[in-house]
Amino acid sequence: MGRFHARNSSVVHTLRVIVHTLRIIGGGLSGCEAALQLACRGFNVDLYEMRKGEGKTPAHKTSNLAELVCSNSFKGTQLTSAHGLLKNELKMLGSFLLQAAEKARVPAGESLTVDREIFSEEIENLMAESKKITLHPKECADLDSDIPTLVAAGPLCSEALADQIKKITGKEFLHFFDAVAPVVENDSIDHSLAYAMNRHEKGDSADFINCPLDKETYLEFVKKLQEADSVEEKPFEKGQLFEGCLPIEEMARRGTDTLRFGPMRPIGLGKHYAVIQLRAENAQKTLYNMVGFQTRLKWNCQKEIFRLVPALKNAEFARLGCMHRNTFIESPKLLDKTLRFANSPLPLWFAGQITGAEGYTEAIATGWYAAWNMANHLHGREPEFLPHGTCIRALVEAITAPNEHFQPMNFNFGLLPRPENLRKNVKKNFLTQQSQKNLSIFLQCCQKS
293 and 353 together in one domain: no
Q: What is the pLDDT of residue 325?
A: 65
Q: What is the pLDDT of residue 404?
A: 85
Q: How many CB atoms lie within 10 A of CB 116?
A: 19
Q: Which domain holds residue 391?
A: 21-176+325-448
Is 11 among the domain residues?
A: no
From CA 62, how far away is CA 28, in angstroms rounded?
Answer: 12
pLDDT at 6: 46
Predicted local confidence at residue 40, as pLDDT: 93
Count of Cβ atoms closer than 10 Å to residue 355 Cβ: 28
pLDDT, mean over the chain: 85
The pLDDT score that the predictor gives to residue 142 is 86
Q: Are 147 and 103 in contact (CB under 8 A)?
A: no
**Domain closes at, from 320, 343, 364:** 320
Residue, of 241 and 357, whose pLDDT is higher: 357
Q: Provide, for the chain, the percentages of residues in helix, strand and coil under a 3-state DSSP scheme, each rounded to the nearest 5.
A: 40, 20, 45
Residue 282: pLDDT band with limits 50, 70, 90: confident
Q: Final residue of a domain: which of 299, 320, 341?
A: 320
Could you tell me if residue 195 is inside a domain? yes
Q: What is the pTM of this model?
A: 0.74
Domain final position from 271, 296, 320: 320
Q: Note the pLDDT of residue 73.
A: 82
pLDDT, tens digit, 9 for 90 and up, residues 122-158: 999 999 999 999 999 888 888 888 899 999 987 777 7
pLDDT at 324: 63
Q: What is the pLDDT of residues 422-443, one digit of tens each?
A: 888 888 899 999 999 999 998 8
Same domain, 168 and 191: no
Region 407-435: mean pLDDT is 88
Summarize pLDDT for 93-121 with one digit per residue, the tens: 999 999 999 998 887 778 898 888 889 99
List of E strands, 3-64:
21-25, 44-48
Instruction: Based on the fold, state whether residues 232 and 197 are members of the same structural domain.
Output: yes
Identify the CATH number of the domain in which residue 221 sits. 2.40.30.260
